[in-house]
Amino acid sequence: MNEKKIVNKKQKDKYTTRKEVLTSFFLSSDYKLVTKKQIIALFSIPKSDIKQLDKILQELEDTGIVYLDDSKRYVPYSKSNLIKCKYQAKSSSFGFGIVEEGEDLYISRKNLNGAMNDDDILAEVINTTGRTREGKVVRILKRNTTSVIGRFSKSKNFGFVLPIDDSIEDVYISKKNSQNYKDGQVVEVVITKYPTESTKAEGKIERIIGDSKDSHIDAKSLYISYGLDKMEKFSPLIEEELKSIPSIVLNDEKVGRKDRTGDTVFTIDSSDAKDLDDAVSVKKVKNNYLLSVYIADVSHYVKEKTELNKEAIARGTSIYIPGKVIPMLPKELSNGICSLNEGQERLALAVDMLISNTGEVLNSDVFKAVIKVDKKMSYDKVYKVISNQMDESLEKEYGMYKDDLLLMEELAKILNEKRKKEGCINFNIPETHIVIDDNGDVVNVEPYPITFANQIIEEFMLVTNMTVAEKYFFLEIPFIYRIHEKPDEEKLRDLNLILSNYNLRVKGIKDVHPKALSDILDSIENERDKDIISNYMLRSLKLAKYSSECLGHFGLNAKYYCHFTSPIRRYPDLFIHRIISKSIENNLMFKENELSKYEKQAEIYSKTSSEMEKNATKIERDFDSLYSTIYMKQFIGEEFDAIISSITSFGMFIRLENTIEGFVAFNDIPDDYYIYDESKRILIGKNTSNTYRIGDSVKVKLIKSDVLTKQIDFKVV
């Protein structure tokens, strides 16, 4: 070891030791609040080490050990009534303080203290009597919004930028900084002064994005406001790493893998899919079924300690917006060597499952394989085959695989029936499918077409995820699970208010079983009513998330569940692939330091991946809302059949057959003055006693489709 390395090692050890000593000092039961000067004196820290001390103290603040109060003294979070959280704005009027553990804090506009979306904040709980804890921002620890995209509004002496993100308030632009810009231009503005309780944020325009003459400016603005333009390309370091990754499977990569290239294997996906990470095969073995599921071995190519891996962690997930995908991995991997393309040899992590004719997994094996997909199939064509709707062209293309597909359908129905009996909740909620043409224009909005062909793959992936999760739980290996916790009693009470309109009720809400909810949905014959109740039921449940602990999945009524089947587009899948591969290579043996490392990583990546999933969902919903308003503008003044999907104290929401939702204000129900009955969630006419209930059919006229606010308004005809 040379002299320079010895010096660096000593400095590193000194830093680590000092950080550990200070952490213990702050967390000690005898600790009394001190300033930085007092710390220097107490620990006799020389002037030459002050910069190091500053770095340590900042790190302890960032990691939530201590915070600096107004008197410049260090206060441990554990000894205060303050909560460190991230502010997540829902609108310009309110948001939530998202905490790592426990219930999130509702924060109204008056208690924001100048906080903006995504800021790291310190908050205190000011009210616990309502349905949610209410908080107040005491201090902003870190500003995470540095610029916004919005539409410039010019006046004589100053201007404002109205952000595309409606959770951010207007940004003031001084006269000096307004002179060179035109009213209506979409711009990027850099925040120069953050908001306070009494003042708006101020900024300086950095660049012009476009103006209202551009027919795609709204989609373009939203795209840039989320930073998706910066995610289109990968860094030069990643581009360099990609050069060393082969575009075909090499012979030495096949060593130690089962050769399944001779088996009949299919991918079944949407016709335009390019990132194919799962393939399947089913054989009959006496009275049982052998289901083989092959998942792209992405971890073979995305190694630890690479820029590719760092970027995949940061992105967490691919983002799917109408007409475009922002991938987690570069297309050389996602559409190339990691995609299970037809006729190409590919590396896979495989799961063989022997399944009985009642759907029980009798035994299973997880192993590394080499495969070659025989046929890339599409959901729509597979459905035509299994529903006996083949024409001459389809007979020629799929005819030789008909028996395989019918066997897959047979097994999928068995698995589906087993899940239903056990109480898995099958929500009946149509997804919105927005059709974009080659010019980027929205040409249609419709329910996403779902057939039993989709269900075949859904059933196979579910049983695979459950099988893998159970196997690795009992091996006591660090892992990331997909968990879904039991719903809160309060939410179930709210659900019962809605269900009372249908003479239905969830029983045993103190310790509810998924089957209680599943049975309610199964009892509803009317598909429209089932759709509405499914929506409310879903809202009453907690969000599924990732965890390093196996806590079960309530909605699926699964004790063991993980995400294993989509490593091209989800980081938790990629991470557990890495763990599984290492366990196979090392005969289930891990060194102590490896176990410790992967346990920490599992905990960290569970949190980051859950956050990135939320972020992706928000982006995808925002684009759906934007394209819906753009599409509906052409129908202003026209009438539609709709159903009431929700009723509130300020109006009701309705849904059209094409899945688009809109709002009806009380003023736009013309035949009477309506009173909201909160106990039943209904509207009652003051003079006529007419009632509007959730699930009722209504005829409405479209009166507004505002692209800027992404809001669609109707009036009752």
Q: Among 705, 679, 683, 693, which residue's Cα sits nearest to residue 645?
A: 693
Please give the Cα distance from 256 to 318 (Å, whole number). 31
Q: What pTM was estimated for this model as a whole?
A: 0.86
Please, which residues bridge with residue 188 across strands? 149, 207
CA-to-CA separations, 448 to 146, 190, 429, 659, in angstroms, rounded: 37, 39, 10, 9
Most confident among 5-14, 475-484, 706-715 (mean pLDDT): 475-484
Listed in sequence order, the residues at least 6 apart from 140 whose beta carbon sits closer than 8 Å to its beta carbon are 113, 114, 115, 119, 120, 121, 122, 194
For residue range 457-491, list pLDDT tens digits in order: 999 999 999 999 999 999 999 999 999 999 988 88
| pLDDT surpasses 50 at 545 | yes
For residue range 101-113, list pLDDT tens digits in order: 777 899 998 899 8
Is 221 exposed, middle or buried (CB count within 10 Å of its CB: 0-12, 13-18, 19+)? buried
Query: How crowded is residue 159: how many other Cβ atoms within 10 Å of its Cβ?
Result: 23
> Please, are residues 371 and 260 in contact by the beta-carbon 8 Å criterion?
yes
pLDDT of residue 508: 86
Band (709; pLDDT cuts 50, 70, 90) = confident
pLDDT of residue 397: 95
Site of tokens 């085959």: 385
pLDDT of residue 17: 87
Higher-confidence residue of 374 and 271: namely 374
pLDDT of residue 212: 79
For residue range 374-430, list pLDDT tens digits in order: 999 999 999 999 999 999 999 999 999 999 999 999 999 999 999 999 999 988 788
- What is the residue-wise DSSP string for 646-700? EEETTEEEEEETTS-EEEEEGGG-TTS-EEEETTTTEEEETTT--EE-TT-EEEE
Average pLDDT over residues 426-439: 88
| pLDDT surpasses 50 at 338 | yes
Task: Please give the mean pLDDT across all residues of the chain.
Answer: 91
pLDDT of residue 6: 45
Q: Is the dihedral of CA 464, 466, 469, 470 positive or negative?
A: negative
Higher-confidence residue of 88 and 471: namely 471
Strand ranges for 510-636 from DSSP E? 545-547
For residue range 482-524, list pLDDT tens digits in order: 999 999 888 899 899 889 888 899 988 889 999 999 999 999 8
| pLDDT surpasses 80 at 618 | yes
Local structure of 51: helix, strand or coil: helix
> Please, are residues 121 and 139 in contact by the beta-carbon 8 Å criterion?
yes
| pLDDT surpasses 80 at 252 | yes
> Please, are residues 436 and 445 in contact by the beta-carbon 8 Å criterion?
no
| pLDDT surpasses 90 at 139 | no
pLDDT of residue 65: 85
Residues, the chain: 717
Average pLDDT over residues 335-357: 97
pLDDT of residue 208: 93
The dihedrals phi and psi of 510, each to the nearest 5 degrees, come to -70, -30
Percent of the chain with pLDDT strictly greater than 70: 98
For residue range 296-329, list pLDDT tens digits in order: 999 999 999 999 999 999 999 999 999 999 999 9
> Please, are residues 555 and 541 in contact by the beta-carbon 8 Å criterion?
yes
Band (649; pLDDT cuts 50, 70, 90) = confident
Average pLDDT over residues 452-456: 95
pLDDT of residue 2: 53
Both tokens of 136, joined, read 């107040």
For residue range 574-593, list pLDDT tens digits in order: 999 999 999 999 888 888 88
pLDDT of residue 530: 87
| pLDDT surpasses 70 at 197 | yes
Band (39; pLDDT cuts 50, 70, 90) = very high
Most confident among 23-27, 307-311, 506-510, 529-533 (mean pLDDT): 307-311
For residue range 629-648, list pLDDT tens digits in order: 999 999 999 999 999 999 98
What does the DSSP 8-state code read for residue 558? B
Band (8; pLDDT cuts 50, 70, 90) = low
Q: Which domains are delineated in the chain?
A: 15-77 (1.10.10), 81-142 (2.40.50.140), 147-225 (2.40.50.700), 236-484+547-624 (no CATH), 489-541 (no CATH), 636-716 (2.40.50.140)
Band (67; pLDDT cuts 50, 70, 90) = confident
CA-to-CA separations, 255 to 293, 567, 579, in angstroms, rounded: 20, 22, 19
Please give the Cα distance from 209 to 207 (Å, whole number). 6
Please give the Cα distance from 599 to 163 (Å, whole number). 41
Band (7; pLDDT cuts 50, 70, 90) = very low
pLDDT of residue 9: 53
> Please, are residues 115 and 141 in contact by the beta-carbon 8 Å criterion?
no
